[in-house]
Chain A
């Protein structure tokens, strides 16, 4: 990772990465690959947002798919029934999902570990049952077909290439926001809550506040992912927003490396690609996938890109009279 230490080289690398991402649809014309890329993008939104809750604030949530689903249904219903513009619908999705995050988090975030896990899991099940049973609005198990594509200033976004660019923009936006949050006082406060709540309280941090912030922000981004997904696939049904999806997202976060944004990205990429790559052995692929999860946890529990690789001074200010970046080599944690 030596090349990443120099900020200038880092910028060049990011630049090359961006150009590659932008050029991807021209290099690869197979639309199946584009579809896989878009799926990865959606999962990056979901995984990085869940990482804020589980990786940074240390709260185990097994109901992330519920917020994803709420966002999808809110977005789809607004676009279908009220002809709301996609981008407004997306904001509405974020707001409504975030509100549900607040609603669930407020009474339950003082519960410890496993208890919170089951409550979020139960919430996920309840939300799914509402999708299935509230047929007047959601059409129940039949789902909602014909969700329109977005349009910007009269230009219709349609076709996989356009959706590909849209998800790239959303991913970059999400990564920007997550990065800013994590490298701020709020993000640091979340981490203290994860490490030791009593110590955090002893320095004036109210744990529930930061758990709630993490929860609401994560829910809002899951909502955005849901709205995007609804518009991309054009059809949603309750079967997408199930417990298994929550588990897959959590697995991405944990396998990638808790408390690490690059980790969540890697987790999303790998867990989307592995089942696709194992497709040739279709019958055995999920079997192998399950076994891989176990082995990974035995042999590399910190994930592919654990938090131990995070940059040290997360406040991103060099101490020592405000000198900047003189010894960025020290910024990398030595393991």
Chain B
């Protein structure tokens, strides 16, 4: 039971971590919270479903297409809703993001309806028993993919030229610009990468739970956001850690205490951690210069 719950927690946590990475990368660079990111995740899910089910493409073709389309959505959001107000008030960006969120949700409702769809990807679910633990191929896929993507992201950010540019931009947009970095491109790239990760998370959740609906982005988005903050927003390892912590805590809470309060555990632990360590687990302490 314990190991089983742990595996389930890690699976969910991996998904949260993938979404949380999008929040944390955008925050790292623009210092804004992309409140529409949960809905980007939802769009990724629907696009994955659209390319496999509606167009009947093989998932090996469909999923990369979906990821590309989601990246396009993410980049468009930044171009249209954030870029014109980037320097302005944080609250203005927040409201704009909430506007995007409402827009995307209702767009999905218009196109796909409000009902819950099944996610027929052509991948059949198989379960394996390892002692007392049951694992599905989807679960293994989720965990493996999460780990691989995180390693890839780590390498991109730390070892490649564009990664250096990203880190420079996150340090200071103005200085990065002065160093000849095309910061607009870096910002677009960041939104693109975040959206691709959200799309992967969306497809994985779609297959794992076999349920797709327009408002799903809300709860996943919130918990991933909580994960990003819990880990220390702006920190990539923090987002991963935060995702797993939230996933495991809520799974155990739901299993051993009360399933009705599943979401409350995630937020409860977030509030408690923030009270004792306001910058999150791996966050850098913020010192006001006087």
**B274 and A301 form a contact (CB under 8 A):** no
Partner of A133 from B91, B101, B258 at Cβ < 8 Å: B258
**A294 and B261 form a contact (CB under 8 A):** no
A111-B278, A117-B33 given; A294·B288 CB < 8 A: no
**A301 and B103 form a contact (CB under 8 A):** no
In the bound complex, CA of A287 to CA of B229 (Å): 29
**B271 and A297 form a contact (CB under 8 A):** no
Q: Does A325 contact B (CB under 8 A)?
A: no
A-chain residues with CB within 8 Å of residue B260 when the two chains form the complex: 129, 132-133
Q: Which label, helix, strand, loop or mixed, suits the secondary structure of the B interface?
A: helix
Stretch at the interface among A34-42, A118-126, A184-192: A118-126
A118-B229, A129-B261 given; A286·B106 CB < 8 A: yes
Partner of B80 from A286, A289, A294 at Cβ < 8 Å: A294
Stretch at the interface among B47-55, B159-167, B199-207, B218-226: B218-226
A113-B90, A118-B229 given; A123·B271 CB < 8 A: yes
**B267 and A123 form a contact (CB under 8 A):** yes
* A302-324 contacts to B (CB < 8 Å): none
**A119 and B270 form a contact (CB under 8 A):** yes
**A293 and B33 form a contact (CB under 8 A):** no
Q: Does B95 contact A (CB under 8 A)?
A: yes
B-chain residues with CB within 8 Å of residue A287 when the two chains form the complex: 102-103, 106-107, 110
B-chain residues with CB within 8 Å of residue A114 when the two chains form the complex: 27, 33, 229, 233
Q: Which label, helix, strand, loop or mixed, suits the secondary structure of the A interface?
A: helix
Q: Does B57 contact A (CB under 8 A)?
A: no
B-chain residues with CB within 8 Å of residue A243 when the two chains form the complex: 218, 222
Q: Does A48 contact B (CB under 8 A)?
A: no
**B84 and A119 form a contact (CB under 8 A):** no
A-contact bits for B214-247, CB 8 A (1 contact / 0 none): 0000100010011001000100000000000000
Of the listed residues B101, B218, B267, the one surrounded by the most CB atoms of chain A closer than 10 A to its CB is: B267
The 10 tightest CB contacts between A and B, nearest first, are A293-B99, A122-B267, A290-B103, A290-B102, A133-B260, A301-B92, A294-B99, A297-B96, A287-B106, A286-B106
Which residues of A approach B to under 8 Å, CB–CB? 54, 60, 107-108, 110-115, 117-119, 121-123, 125-126, 129-130, 132-133, 198, 243, 247, 250-251, 254-255, 258, 283-284, 286-287, 289-294, 296-298, 301
Which residues of B approach A to under 8 Å, CB–CB? 27, 33, 80-81, 84-85, 88-96, 98-107, 110, 218, 222, 225-226, 229, 233, 258, 260-261, 263-264, 266-268, 270-271, 274-275, 278, 286, 288, 290
What are 5 A-B residue pairs whose CB atoms fall within 8 Å in the complex? Answer: A113-B90, A121-B267, A130-B264, A251-B95, A296-B99
